[in-house]
Structure 1
Amino acid sequence: MSARGGPRDPPAARPATTIVDVYAERPFPGLACVWRRTTSSAAVGRVVPDGCTDIIYSTATGQLHVAGPDTVGHVTSTAPGTLFGVRFGPGVGPSAFGLPAVELRDQRVPLSELWGPSSRLEDALGAASDPCSVLASAALARLRETPPDPAVGAIASFSGNVGDLARTLGLSTRQLHRRSLAAFGYGPKVLHRVLRFDRAVKLAWEGVPFADIAHRTGYADQAHLAREVRELAGVPLGQLIRS
């Protein structure tokens, strides 16, 4: 059927087009990971909260930006080309940017707004055979200058009462909340939700049954897991891992 509704001859056969969308990550000492994503055509994906902060370099535009810690899932569009990224573990990235994480929360910010002019780094990335290593070196140099809050590990690993955690760290609950916002972008309770959600999603990608995921990650039951995933990702868990 033609655009105007009349009959038309069938179109001539065309060679099949292969659409490439490949994501891969690898460990890198001092960082959560480095990663790359290559797409042969415009792509749409869903980014969900994981407590992390990324620096991302686009070969299509030559631009660098920072992805702050998210509170909810959101849909993103990617132009054809390759993205290279470094991912800081929860609570680590903001110290490299000299800015409290809460000011980066749910934000995408040009790196130059945080580090100043980035033309030298962009030139190095454009000439590099492994842009991830160039990005990682720059990120680690910043972390050596301004290390993360030493309480980051204890806050991220807590799973009990916030008051007990504050006493363990020698802080008031208000001080703990402020330091958690500065390091992670979330208060301790929200941080716990986000990190538990992230563990659950990773298990789902591995094919673990949803009821087992709920038990292993500390949800009251599968219904509780389902509610949390909808609130944090915006879609059901099954749909999330298929997207």
Structure 2
Amino acid sequence: MESRPSELPYIERVWRSRSDDGVSRMMSVATSHWELVFWEHQGEVQAAVLGPEAQASQAPVPEEAVFFGISFALGTSMPHIPVSRLVGGNAAIPDVTRRSLWLKGSAWHVPDYDNAEAFVLRMVREGIVDQDPVVPAVLGGATPDVSDRTLQRRFVAATGLTQGAIRQIHRARQAAILIQEGAPAQEVVHRLGYFDQPHLARSLKRYVGRTATQLSTPDTTEPLSLLYKTSPWPSA
């Protein structure tokens, strides 16, 4: 799997991958971001909008398939497909070929790893993608002049998840990366604010689908989905 960050505020990350022989399933790690994913398998091209995943789950991996995805920034949404309806699910995009797809009645060229930004900018211009400015502001440490109830409502509307759920997912993903890099569990507990090691263990199992020991010795027959370093989460 290959991935890169993006300077476009609507995009969290762009990635692409190819399935390997001997890998029939993967562990899909919880994520608070929704994605637009394209894949080709046995000459057929498909696309779907994948919603946030509130917990880890196993996912099948087709043989000799090629994937490309755009992971959208928190607060970014497609108003005609409410993200709250997509949590743990997906919405297929019909009539996709190697060259084109249809979005809201218009023909589009299928994007690729190198021109994802241009594709998303067109989506923004045509009103297919929007962003609630409050969400990235809060993620950047700002305190918007709205009530807690309004803030929570806007987070759920824009991301499909509560702030608390997003924080827990983010922390578990960070913990998994630290453990994969060789950090002792007790150090991870201290650095990321877990109560104790059992609290860390429960979080990893729920959101990453692995124990600390399993993360230290990766399973090549059932790899994890994309994990990457992100900026520290602002203090609550």
TM exceeding 0.5 = yes
* Residue equivalent to 2:167: 192
* Residue equivalent to 2:61: 78
| Aligned-partner Cα distance in 2 for 1:138–1:33 | 14
**Alpha-carbon RMSD:** 2.7
Instruction: Tell me: higher relative CO, structure 1 or 2? Use CA pairs within 8 A at least 6 residues apart.
Output: 2
Structure (1 or 2) with the greater helix fraction: 1
* Residue equivalent to 1:102: 84
Give TM-score scaled by structure 1 length.
0.73
* Residue equivalent to 1:150: 133
Gapped regions of structure 1 (runs ≥ 5): 1-22, 126-130, 159-164
8 Å CA contact 2:49–2:92 kept in 1: the answer is yes
Could you tell me how far 1:182 is from its partner in structure 2? Answer: 1.1
Give TM-score scaled by structure 2 length.
0.75
| Aligned-partner Cα distance in 1 for 2:177–2:33 | 14
| Aligned-partner Cα distance in 1 for 2:123–2:108 | 15
The letter of the residue matching 1:142 is M
Question: Which structure has the greater CA radius of gyration?
Answer: 1
Alignment of 1:163-242 (within 5 A): 168-240=143-215, 242=218
Structure (1 or 2) with the greater strand fraction: 2
The letter of the residue matching 2:7 is P
8 Å CA contact 1:112–1:118 kept in 2: the answer is no
| Aligned-partner Cα distance in 2 for 1:107–1:118 | 25
Show structure 1 runs of 4+ deviating over 6 A: none
8 Å CA contact 2:27–2:58 kept in 1: the answer is yes
Cα–Cα, structure 1 residues 104 and 155, in superposed 2: closer, same or farther, change >3 Å? farther
* Residue equivalent to 1:133: 114
Identity %: 25
* Residue equivalent to 2:3: 25
* Residue equivalent to 1:16: none
| Aligned-partner Cα distance in 1 for 2:106–2:18 | 23
- How many residues end up aligned between the 2 structures? 204
* Residue equivalent to 1:162: none
